[in-house]
Amino acid sequence: MRYWLGASGSDCTALVLREKQSAKKVRVALQKLPERQRAAVVLSDYEGIRNQQAEEAMGLELGSFQQLLFRAR
């Protein structure tokens, strides 16, 4: 979560609430993706796995992972 110096308590509360709402929207959007696209996003953006490693983990050919990731985003 991000906090700014000098922000009042109500400002911080509003920021935390917005971040929680944004996180919920992302989770809902992820659930709507096809399974392989969702896996690509999770591996790349949440697990921090490099594309080549993710391709191997998912059993994909070279470039297929990037294509799934592009479609998902």
pLDDT at residue 5 tops 80: no
Q: What's residue 31's pLDDT?
A: 94
Among 38, 62, 43, which residue's Cα sits nearest to residue 52? 62
Q: CA 45 from chain center: how many Å?
A: 5
CATH number of the domain bearing residue 58: 1.10.10.10
6 or 18: which leads in pLDDT: 18
Q: Which long-range contacts (CB under 8 A, 24 or more apart) does 45-49 make?
A: none
pLDDT at 4 over 90: no
In a domain, 47, yes or no: yes
When divided into structural domains, the chain yields a total of 1
Does 1 map to a domain? Answer: no
Domain span holding position 57? 9-72
The predicted pLDDT at position 66 comes to: 92
pLDDT digits (tens, 9 = 90+) for 19-59: 999 889 989 999 999 999 999 999 999 999 999 999 999 99
